[in-house]
Amino acid sequence: MILAAGLGTRLKMLTHDKPKALVEVGGKTLLERNIEILVHHGFDTIIVNVHHFGDQVIHFIETHPFNAKIYISDERGLLMDTGGGIVQALPFFHDAQAVLIHNVDILSDMDLKDCYERFIASSDDAWLLTQDRQTSRKLLFDPNNQLVGWKNLNDGAFKWVDHPQECYKELAFSGMHIFKPTLFEEYVWQQYSIIDLYLQQAKHHQIKAVEITPSFWYDLGKAEDFEKINAFFS
């Protein structure tokens, strides 16, 4: 599933007349690049959620041939946030052993097929693909890589799975994660943050960090990053 419903407000003028998914880098939209990456790695069924300028995203998918079945999870009536969008899309996943979630503004050469297959072979309920890099918000994991909390470095706020921990490692979320569809089946359709859902589920399920080291990883989350990323893909 590609999360493509966000408002893209931090991209400023890049998204004043289009959704973030249709911002072009190196002559291709973020959405097109990510669909091509997923297809390259063997994913043949892809869900794309839409909200901001959702009609444009739907038209783009309908008018561009991709070597995959692509379905729309429609949030044009109400933006469901990163977790609520996944919960709304759960009916699409009833036959899936696992679901890979990929933010539309992330571009990398991560070996997604290998990671997906290793997750299926594991006994874990979710893998949060993480990195050791600078960011203002960090996920917190115990020595066994189990999720125990979240931290905002700017204001010092914490969220804990159970209780405050003294021994933990801080890792940055990559914008990609894999989970078993049954993990979220108890939730009703409403707005949720995916991080909040994982913190809740980590009380009773195996929510693990898997550190990744792709040769490139970009997050087009801010307008200031556009020139660098566009130059790389050009």
What tens digit of pLDDT does each residue of 56-75 get?
999 999 999 999 999 999 99
What tens digit of pLDDT does each residue of 191-212 get?
999 999 999 999 999 999 999 9
At 117 the pLDDT is 98
Report the candidate in 143, 141, 120 with the shortest Cα–Cα distance to residue 131: 141
Whole-angstrom Cα distance, residue 213 to residue 111? 10
Q: Does the pLDDT of residue 4 top 90, yes or no?
A: yes
Compute the average pLDDT of residues 160-165: 95
List the domains of the chain with CATH numbers.
2-233 (3.90.550.10)
Compute the average pLDDT of residues 10-25: 94
Q: Does the pLDDT of residue 96 top 90, yes or no?
A: yes
Compute the average pLDDT of residues 145-172: 96
Compute the average pLDDT of residues 174-202: 97
pTM of this prediction exceeds 0.75? yes
For residues 224 and 84, which has the higher predicted lDDT (pLDDT)?
A: 84
Compute the average pLDDT of residues 95-123: 97
Q: Does the pLDDT of residue 223 top 90, yes or no?
A: no
What mean pLDDT value characterizes the chain? 96
At 221 the pLDDT is 86
Where on the phi/psi map is residue 148: left (φ > 0), alpha (ψ -120 to 50), or beta?
A: alpha
At 20 the pLDDT is 96
User: Which amino acid is located at 59 in the chain?
Assistant: H
Q: Does the pLDDT of residue 222 top 90, yes or no?
A: no
Tokens 């919960």, residue?
87
Per-residue confidence band for 99, with pLDDT thresholds at 50, 70 and 90? very high
Q: Does the pLDDT of residue 164 top 90, yes or no?
A: yes
Tokens 């979630």, residue?
101
| DSSP string of 37-80, one letter each residue | HHHHTT--EEEEEE-TTHHHHHHHHHHS--SSEEEEEE-SSS--
The fraction of the chain above a pLDDT of 90, given in percent, is 96
Per-residue confidence band for 157, with pLDDT thresholds at 50, 70 and 90? very high
